[in-house]
């Protein structure tokens, strides 16, 4: 089978897009790094791809709130996005990408894409950048985390990473259905239920605040001298999506 086509969808001021594109390419996909304007103009269509990624990093300067402007722009291609998701093609949002997905109503999954959660300012009141330990929910349907150990380490870098839901029912649904894919071992931002990442019911739509593309190779880890393998846990996130499509 030919290599799956992965779209890394960026906007003005997005960063981590090149790293995300390289991660998918290394994992066996054909990566296309493209600006949202190419889709708004009709030059390109999301339905021409097998995998969709919203990378991390301050799209549109995080004006108004993190990911909000990008999420508004997505409304113009909502029909294509909804079909992409309905077809169960993998979608991942990393950091700013997760913020975009939540504010566009793509996560938590619900009818009508109502906004039922947000990612708010960290409890500490400022930007945090550090390595963190995460618990992997092995009961989760998420395709991106298949085969991962029960605890992993990834770097985080955000000022608005506190996951909060609109009401207790939304949070209860997430927990009941094991949609809380990743949780913080030591909650750094005050997220409800220590949530660091969530997915949809079928597991193909996934958003997380930590950065798997920044722990892709073992040399990226602070304790790299202790790691014998060339590839780190971040590689598995991208490889899983590619293998799922194949």
Exposure string for 20-30, b = 16+ CB within 10 A, e = fewer: bbbbbbbbbbe
C-alpha to C-alpha distance for 77 and 30, rounded to whole angstroms:
22
Answer whether residue 60 shows pLDDT above 70.
Answer: yes
C-alpha to C-alpha distance for 206 and 91, rounded to whole angstroms:
6
C-alpha to C-alpha distance for 23 and 224, rounded to whole angstroms:
19
Domains assigned to the chain = 5-245 (3.40.50.880)
Q: What is the pLDDT of residue 1?
A: 64
Closest by Cα among 212, 213, 199 to 22: 213
**pLDDT confidence tier of residue 111, bands split at 50, 70 and 90:** confident
Say whether 204 sits in a helix, a strand or coil: coil
pLDDT digits (tens, 9 = 90+) for 173-222: 999 999 999 999 999 999 999 999 999 999 999 999 999 999 999 999 99
Give the distance, in angstroms, between the CA of residue 104 and the centroid of all CA atoms in the same chain: 13
The catalytic residues are: 95, 211, 213
Candidate from 98-112, 130-144, 148-162, 226-240 with smallest mean pLDDT: 226-240
C-alpha to C-alpha distance for 228 and 230, rounded to whole angstroms:
7
Q: pLDDT averaged over the chain?
A: 96
Two tokens at 150?
């029960």
Two tokens at 15?
């960063």
Answer whether residue 229 shows pLDDT above 90.
Answer: no
pLDDT digits (tens, 9 = 90+) for 12-22: 999 999 999 99
Distances 120 to 62, 89, 165, 187, 218 between C-alpha atoms, Å: 12, 28, 10, 14, 31
């Amino acid at each position: 089978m030919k290599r799956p086509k992965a779209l890394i969808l960026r906007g003005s001021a997005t960063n981590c897009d090149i790293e995300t594109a390289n991660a998918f390419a290394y994992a066996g996909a054909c990566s296309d790094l493209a600006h949202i304007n190419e889709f708004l103009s009709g030059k390109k269509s999301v339905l021409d791809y097998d995998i969709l990624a919203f990378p991390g990093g301050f799209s549109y300067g995080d004006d108004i709130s993190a990911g909000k402007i990008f999420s508004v722009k997505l409304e113009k291609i909502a029909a294509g996005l909804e079909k992409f998701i309905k077809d169960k093609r993998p979608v991942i949002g990393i950091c700013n990408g997760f913020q975009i997905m939540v504010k566009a109503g793509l996560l938590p999954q619900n009818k009508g894409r109502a906004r039922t959660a947000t990612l708010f300012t960290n409890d500490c009141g400022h930007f945090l950048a550090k390595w963190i330990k995460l618990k992997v929910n092995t009961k989760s349907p998420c395709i991106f985390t298949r085969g991962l150990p029960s605890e992993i380490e990834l770097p985080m870098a955000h000022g608005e990473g506190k996951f909060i839901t609109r009401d207790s029912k939304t949070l209860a649904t997430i927990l009941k259905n094991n949609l809380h894919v990743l949780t913080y071992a030591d909650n750094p931002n005050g997220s409800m239920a220590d949530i660091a990442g969530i997915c949809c019911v079928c597991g193909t739509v996934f958003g997380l605040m930590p950065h798997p593309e920044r722990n892709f190779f073992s040399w990226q880890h602070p304790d790299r001298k202790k790691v014998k393998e060339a590839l780190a846990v971040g590689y598995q996130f991208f490889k899983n999506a590619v293998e799922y499509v194949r």
